[in-house]
Structure 1
């Protein structure tokens, strides 16, 4: 039996694996052993192999669709995360500080009476009206009270601290007003928790008339209930009491901003914190309850009916 070794290349380059399959070699060896004179299978010449090698190299150099490498994408994402976090914080803080206007609550209400969040009705239909009060008040109610050192007769209402607040751009602003009640030098004062079922009336007036206001506003009592006087419908104001009422920003007339209005409710002061005049805007708060009138009658106080009112004006000197 004769064998035919694979031919070696004559071009000095390392030869590639023979292109003759194992089945072809097996058939050739079998035919050679049987002596049928079958021709040996031929391998490509060195030149043919070189040409095939160059063709395959040319096909391998063809451009292929590029894919983002997994590692490169992860590195890019890792570098971008801190910047995305910083941008998110800036957006959240700006939105809470009302630096962006989209989707936020209105700064003021319309020039018509509308229901207010939390209760009450705005006086928007009276915007620009001079001397308007939901509860009819005497002219003296909108004037500075005379300064006195002695106690005043009958029940009294005074304004405590007040200020405008807006917690975030997503929540509407409000003017919070503290109310101080006193029964006077003698007698006791008992009123309904809803103040005659009519709530509180608030008006803010400027040189051009009503700037904002509302009536029917609910009151929040801060006075604790006294032992033995548990009453869910009335509150005993003997010895004094304090409460709070809130005027929503929607109760302001169109074009007025809560912070700007608040600044004009405060009297001007000089460098020594001395009050130099009256505030530009007048804030008037009034309530009406039968208990007020009953106390006045019992002590023979001057006529005033069931009304109590107070304002932010600076008392005149003695």
Structure 2
């Protein structure tokens, strides 16, 4: 593969041409050329290849639950805690529920709402049952993760009927769209929408984990790959980056971070549109031609403090245009002050 350039001197472009040139440049500097290799290694090392092939839910559940635990804290701290104290697992949770705990909230996924278990005070919404309750048993980092683990387990047991692979297949096959972009959005919503009811996991966490899983399964389930490679996560870093760079303004859709990011003309649509015009095979011939997940991951990596750490509030005074003249894309960046957006 060709080496990445070290500088960029193109003059500021306008409109969609500006967006495409800018995003392509960020992909050049921040895109992970080994993204598929990283996903494949994780997939094999976690036994997900065999689990997906055989439709074996427990290893997939355990991997997803671990992925959900990497939120609200650095990856290293979360990993160290799990290495020391362990984590929740399908097998242990299934066994604890087969013992028929007395708490009425543990009778089904639908009953579980409002558990309110708190690790520090050892309290919950049903204090008369807490001493025999399985929710606190895993030594997780905080009580919210304990509640999340049980909520996810009950979802898989009751909604997915214990068959995660089959449930994902059905959700993706049920999605419809009049255009390719509509279909990609519909597939993501068909999968992520029902999962929003699980306690303690937002769209960002769900989409990150499931897109990784589905890309890894590409040799076994092509439809999973089609959905996974198109799944886009818009967090504050990516949203603010699209605003600061002037890309959001060039599309005529400035908006605050939130639901507008996924609305027509929002951040997700901007990223998917750019991905359709950027041939990802120019970065790695093994990539699919259209690879929105790669593009989004590059934008995030450009901003994240534990990655390239360039475009973020730690580096830029949001009341003023960016002054990072050493930035490789400085000359084609709109450098819009973020202000109160």
Task: Give the TM-score taking structure 2 as reference length.
Answer: 0.20
Q: Which structure would you say has the larger Rg? A: 1
Q: Whose helix fraction is larger, Structure 1's or Structure 2's?
A: 2
TM-score, scaled to structure 1: 0.21
